[in-house]
Structure 1
Amino acid sequence: MINTMIFDFNGTMFFDGKIQKESWGEFLKEEFKRTMTESEFEKHVAGRNNRDTLEYYAERKISDEELEVLTNKKEQIYCDMCLSRPKEFHLVDGLTDFLNVCLKNGIKLNIATASERPNVEFFFEHLDLEKWFNIESVSLNDSKLPGKPAPDMFLRAIDNVDSIPRDSAIFEDSVSGIQAANGANAEKVILVEDPDLTVVNMPTNLRVDEVIQDYFCFIETLTKRK
């Protein structure tokens, strides 16, 4: 029986696709004089860590120092946009209730995100994530593991809460994230879709067990299980 829920964050717990696209678009125009296409967003931005994305647009390897500078510039734009849009800056519908029910039922919870520590701290501060998650257990981009589509970040998130893949469900929104969830051999892979965005073109060879746009259905399922 599944007793562990692992979430990607951006686009899965918080529908920030529009903000992500706008902030990346603004940053790339300023820094690289480039215009990001929808295809590039899906392949080189969504679910990817910043190094992968920045090296794609820079068309070269970048140093750790340059990575930090560029990341800080981009994330400042993103955070400012989040705070300026309180009607958009909130957890996905039904998620808070779902997380509360998970805790009541002894379900283990964790996050596996391509975001760096400062961004994770930003989300914990402004979205009260400490109610359900331990920030020290979160699997984040610390440059020690390969980013998605490699499964390593999910495997670490699962291990950090003393669980195993066959007892885990993974919630994702991107192609690279679903690839990583498949590679981790999770018991269940759930695709979370933002109803305000274009449906992701998911390769047919990837396993997706369920598609959702909110978390209300899982509240009913856990309540019945109890």
Structure 2
Amino acid sequence: MIKNLIFDFNGTMIFDSELQRQAWGQMLAQTFNHQMTEHDFQTEIAGRNNSYTFNHYADHPLTTAEAAAFSEKKEAIYREICGQRPDKFCLVAGLKQFLTQAQAAGIAMNIATASEKPNVDFFFDQLGLSQWFDRDQVVINDGALPGKPAPDMFLTALAHVNGLPTETAIFEDSPSGIQAANRAQVAQTILVVEPDAPDPILNATLTINHQINDYQTLFEQL
């Protein structure tokens, strides 16, 4: 029986891949003179923490301060783009009802995201997430834990709601996130796929229990 739900955020609770691609493409071109490809986005960006990505494209190992400055610049670009695109910067279809239904059923819920504090605060403020989630329990990219595909972020988010992996479903959209969910050895791994977006590049060895495009009919399947 599923008693806990742990969500990635970007690409899972909001379909913002177009916005992320725009922000990362602009950032990599301006900062590293690199033209981002779809393979770049899926393997070196989606689900990864920013420090990993910037170090991957830099020509020297970055200091903590350098990586933080790059990250601040990229996320400011992203938030500005979000403000210009309310058609994309919104919760996935059916998610509000799904969260409310799960909450009423006594299912514990949390978020584990590669996003950093300014973005998570922005999401909570703009999307009303506090009605379902405790902001203080959310696990974010603050450098305290290894990034995905390590399972640590998911396991910590689960510990914050006193949940067991064997009673948990994780929602993810990225290859590194699916791998992290598998490594956490949870009961169910659910792949969320944005309609009309490029298919995720997934290793055939990964375990996926459900694949969804929205949350409108999912509750009965858990």
TM-score (norm 1): 0.96
**Structure 2 residue matching 1:217: 3-state secondary structure:** coil
What is the rounded CA distance, in whole Å, between the counterparts of 2:158 and 2:219 in structure 1? 21
Preserved CA contact (<8 Å) 1:3 1:168: yes
Q: Give how far 1:221 is off.
A: 4.6
Unaligned runs of 5+ in 2: none
The corresponding residue for 2:168 is 168
**Structure 1 residue matching 2:218: 3-state secondary structure:** helix
Percent of aligned positions that are identical? 48
The corresponding residue for 1:136 is 136
Q: Give how far 1:60 is off.
A: 2.7
Which amino acid in structure 2 is aligned with residue 169 of structure 1? Answer: A
The corresponding residue for 2:205 is 205
The corresponding residue for 2:189 is 189
Asked if 1:78 corresponds to 2:78, the answer is: yes
The corresponding residue for 1:19 is 19
Preserved CA contact (<8 Å) 1:97 1:219: no
Note the alpha carbon deviations across 1:170-192, whole angstroms, 9 max, x for none. 00000000000000001000000
Give the RMSD, CA atoms, in angstroms: 1.0
Asked if 1:118 corresponds to 2:113, the answer is: no
The corresponding residue for 2:153 is 153
Deviation above 6 Å: which 4+ runs of structure 1? none
Q: Give how far 1:117 is off.
A: 1.0
Alignment of 1:82-121 (within 5 A): 82-121=82-121
Note the alpha carbon deviations across 1:150-175, whole angstroms, 9 max, x for none. 00000001000010100100000000
What is the rounded CA distance, in whole Å, between the counterparts of 1:146 and 1:220 in structure 2? 34
Unaligned runs of 5+ in 1: none
How many pairs are equivalent? 222
TM-score (norm 2): 0.98
**Structure 2 residue matching 1:21: 3-state secondary structure:** helix
